[in-house]
Chain A
């Protein structure tokens, strides 16, 4: 793919035809792609960034940029939209080079491919075939998406390139973790922090997509999408599409329920977590239950636990959670929510729980055994809340 960008001629007819072919027909396209913002104005919830970038559309000036923020907050979309608006479809390929984590981006690639592209004089502007007028400023853009997965060496090799060809090439680095970008690179860029989407923007966007796809969803479903995706709009959109697929698979289509979204998102049903918390000695009678329509059969499946007490009861409860296949990190998140917001647990008890939660999170990320750590959390939370 990347080789296309180095062709000295405008793309031929044949080439275009081939590219068309690789674009899936709209009905088979993932919605995250189908509804990727076309222009920077379509990017929701990043008001400040958009207004700064607006100005670059009218001036011919653009600094090197560093976009950072959590997944699905619009970083890739924004730089792609900006590039498109700057150059238009006809000049895009000649002026923009985009590389991601799935491309080989070791130090040798930086020295060859990236440098080669960076030092080419920008080609003369091709006439826009769509009749629109594009600013088409006299530089090229190199987008290094998912740049935090580049090695330090490769980043180091970028420094000189960035400086030497700054007149004709601007870089945009995109990443989740700004600390993984070496300081000399970061300091050469204007930084833009992308925030997780706020829920009203996310709601607008999701409702827009649902309407366009003619998927009937109510407020509760949208709320479930937002709460399960914690500011990651991509995830919310993927869940929505999956739910729509499943609901339309039956005849007649089954309406989408908040519980479906939770299942797709891998959320542990509310009732299961509450029962787990209760086994650990957390009084859940005071907490408002979540969505009433969550399936309850999971809870009743473990009937053997009734005769057990103390350690054995907790052990068996954990076993049954593991048998159900719930992910440990999800259980942790949801248990954490119950405890942190609990009306009667003391600050001291909550602090005790916070300690163990943090340890468990780290252990799970290190790949520790899930069953042992769910049990560990259970036993220590039990100790903290009953002492």
Chain B
């Protein structure tokens, strides 16, 4: 097992950072009327760990006895949907966005089912079951609308915990029915505490300060990433004293390479080469948004100040189009062309005026 999983805190008391928040969750779990909740915050900030710890607080360690099931749902048009659910006697966890636009069916079925079954375990501390919905920000409008009344009507048998990166895409009526819980990324100091703790638990000896600093800066608030990188470095060089370079994931190194290619040469030939690399990245299931952001970040580090804002502007525009469109690669490529043209014109010193006219 990976360290991230092995040394994941199980209870609210074991959580290292946001102690004030843990305290609040603890008191909420103790009171009889636990509200619906919406956990939001950046990835790797520890939302899921916190949710699991809250469940533990609510029901005891019984929630750790998990069963993984594949459930089949039928759409009105008789199409079969397979959805993975993780459940214990007290809760059920699902990611309805797996089934795209049919998520409403899954939500409707699961919630009605839970709402109508009583808690079988008579010794359970609470009458309700908890439904955890991951990636709730990807729920379709229909699925969100279907949640609306259910959340009020079945309050006795059911509590909902939504887990999202961003609240922007949730409809207002859903937000107004939940207690919003913001989980900020850990601070640098918080991350250091956690890394040291993991080092100790893993028997990895002490973690040199400069190595820790490097890991923390690189992770940018993503605790999961920091622990993964730490473990990878430890594998590479067990004593850590020689301070090996941060073990970047392959895709990240690859993205940097693409960025460098864009800056080295701006020709149609180069566009083709870059495209091949982008395909490669996408075919390894690296999300297109991550690819774009990583390349853009690297590019702006290397160009003149006056170009930076424009490059990010087009990144924002093309990322948005990518979501609305069908073919991610088109938009990635268009952005690359755009950046090359901006860069080249800057060097040729040609003032063409408004580039917006080009596209």
Are A and B associated in one complex? yes
Question: Known contacts being A238-B177, A249-B27, is A380 close to B323, with CB within 8 Å?
Answer: no
Q: Which residues of A contact B30 (CB under 8 A)?
A: 249
Query: Within the complex, which residue of A33, A235, A246, A372 is in contact with B24, where a contact is CB–CB below 8 Å?
Result: A246
Q: Which residues of B contact A24 (CB under 8 A)?
A: 155-156
Inter-chain CA distance A27–B31, complex, in Å, is: 11
Q: Decide: A235 and B323 in contact? CB cutoff 8 A.
A: no
Interface segment out of the listed A41-49, A88-96, A286-294, A320-328: A320-328
Q: Decide: A71 and B176 in contact? CB cutoff 8 A.
A: yes
**Chain B 138-170 near chain A by CB (<8 Å), digits 1 or 0:** 100110011111101101100000000111110
Inter-chain CA distance A266–B167, complex, in Å, is: 9
Query: Within the complex, which residue of A28, A330, A370 is in contact with B155, where a contact is CB–CB below 8 Å?
Result: A28
Shortest distance between the CB of A231 and any CB in chain B (Å): 11
Inter-chain CA distance A104–B27, complex, in Å, is: 38
Q: Decide: B148 and A101 in contact? CB cutoff 8 A.
A: yes
Shortest distance between the CB of B102 and any CB in chain A (Å): 14
Q: Decide: A27 and B32 in contact? CB cutoff 8 A.
A: yes
Shortest distance between the CB of B132 and any CB in chain A (Å): 18
Shortest distance between the CB of A242 and any CB in chain B (Å): 5
Shortest distance between the CB of A175 and any CB in chain B (Å): 11
Chain B CB within 8 A of A349 CB: no
Known: A27-B32, A146-B149. 12 other contacts (CB 8 A): A28-B32, A72-B176, A102-B148, A106-B76, A323-B42, A325-B41, A327-B166, A327-B167, A330-B167, A368-B319, A372-B312, A379-B309
Chain A CB within 8 A of B199 CB: no
| Contact residues, A1-44 vs B (CB, 8 A) | 22-24, 27-30, 32-33
Q: Which residues of B contact A328 (CB under 8 A)?
A: 166, 168
Interface segment out of the listed B182-190, B235-243, B348-356: B182-190
Some 15 contacts from A to B, beta carbons below 8 A apart, are A32-B152, A101-B146, A102-B153, A146-B149, A235-B172, A238-B177, A266-B182, A325-B184, A328-B168, A363-B320, A365-B168, A366-B323, A368-B320, A372-B312, A372-B319
Query: Within the complex, which residue of B40, B141, B293, B312 is in contact with A327, where a contact is CB–CB below 8 Å?
Result: B40
A-contacting residues of B (Cβ < 8 Å)? 24, 27-28, 30-33, 35, 40-42, 45, 76, 108, 137-138, 141-142, 145-150, 152-153, 155-156, 165-169, 172-173, 175-180, 182-185, 187, 220-221, 289, 293, 300, 305, 308-309, 312-313, 315-316, 319-320, 323-324
Inter-chain CA distance A266–B179, complex, in Å, is: 9
Inter-chain CA distance A370–B179, complex, in Å, is: 22
Shortest distance between the CB of B345 and any CB in chain A (Å): 19
Q: Decide: A234 and B313 in contact? CB cutoff 8 A.
A: no
Q: Decide: A102 and B149 in contact? CB cutoff 8 A.
A: yes
Q: Decide: B168 and A311 in contact? CB cutoff 8 A.
A: no
Q: Decide: B324 and A366 in contact? CB cutoff 8 A.
A: yes
Inter-chain CA distance A241–B28, complex, in Å, is: 12
Shortest distance between the CB of A106 and any CB in chain B (Å): 6
Chain B CB within 8 A of A375 CB: yes
Chain B CB within 8 A of A127 CB: no
Residue on B nearest A28 in the bound complex, by CB: B33
Inter-chain CA distance A46–B211, complex, in Å, is: 64
Q: Decide: B149 and A101 in contact? CB cutoff 8 A.
A: yes
Query: Within the complex, which residue of B146, B156, B187 is in contact with A22, where a contact is CB–CB below 8 Å?
Result: B156
Residue on B nearest A22 in the bound complex, by CB: B156
Query: Within the complex, which residue of B41, B145, B167, B178 is in contact with A101, where a contact is CB–CB below 8 Å?
Result: B145
**Chain A 371-387 near chain B by CB (<8 Å), digits 1 or 0:** 11101100110010000
Q: Which residues of B contact A325 (CB under 8 A)?
A: 40-42, 45, 182-185
Inter-chain CA distance A24–B158, complex, in Å, is: 11
Shortest distance between the CB of A118 and any CB in chain B (Å): 22
**Chain A 141-171 near chain B by CB (<8 Å), digits 1 or 0:** 0000110010000000000000000000000
Question: Known contacts being A28-B32, A246-B28, is A323 close to B312, with CB within 8 Å?
Answer: no
Chain B CB within 8 A of A358 CB: no
Q: Decide: A245 and B28 in contact? CB cutoff 8 A.
A: yes
**Chain A 293-326 near chain B by CB (<8 Å), digits 1 or 0:** 0000000010000000011000100010011111
Inter-chain CA distance A381–B221, complex, in Å, is: 26
Q: Which residues of A contact B76 (CB under 8 A)?
A: 104, 106
Residue on B nearest A379 in the bound complex, by CB: B309
Shortest distance between the CB of A205 and any CB in chain B (Å): 15
Q: Decide: A319 and B166 in contact? CB cutoff 8 A.
A: no
Chain B CB within 8 A of A265 CB: yes
Query: Within the complex, which residue of A101, A238, A250, A371 is in contact with B176, where a contact is CB–CB below 8 Å?
Result: A238
Residue on B nearest A374 in the bound complex, by CB: B316
Q: Which residues of B contact A220 (CB under 8 A)?
A: none
Query: Within the complex, which residue of A23, A241, A369 is in contact with B289, where a contact is CB–CB below 8 Å?
Result: A369
Inter-chain CA distance A271–B155, complex, in Å, is: 37
Q: Which residues of B contact A380 (CB under 8 A)?
A: 309, 313
Q: Decide: B293 and A372 in contact? CB cutoff 8 A.
A: yes
Q: Decide: B176 and A329 in contact? CB cutoff 8 A.
A: no
Inter-chain CA distance A273–B153, complex, in Å, is: 37
Shortest distance between the CB of B163 and any CB in chain A (Å): 12
Q: Decide: A30 and B168 in contact? CB cutoff 8 A.
A: no
**Chain A 88-119 near chain B by CB (<8 Å), digits 1 or 0:** 00000000000011101010000000000000
Chain B CB within 8 A of A264 CB: yes
Question: Known contacts being A101-B145, A102-B146, A249-B24, is A370 close to B313, with CB within 8 Å?
Answer: no
Residue of A72, A229, A326, A369 with most partner-chain B CB within 10 A? A369
Residue on A nearest B173 in the bound complex, by CB: A71
Q: Which residues of B contact A319 (CB under 8 A)?
A: 220
Q: Which residues of B contact A229 (CB under 8 A)?
A: 176
Residue on B nearest A362 in the bound complex, by CB: B320
Shortest distance between the CB of A107 and any CB in chain B (Å): 10
Q: Decide: A327 and B152 in contact? CB cutoff 8 A.
A: no
Inter-chain CA distance A22–B152, complex, in Å, is: 12
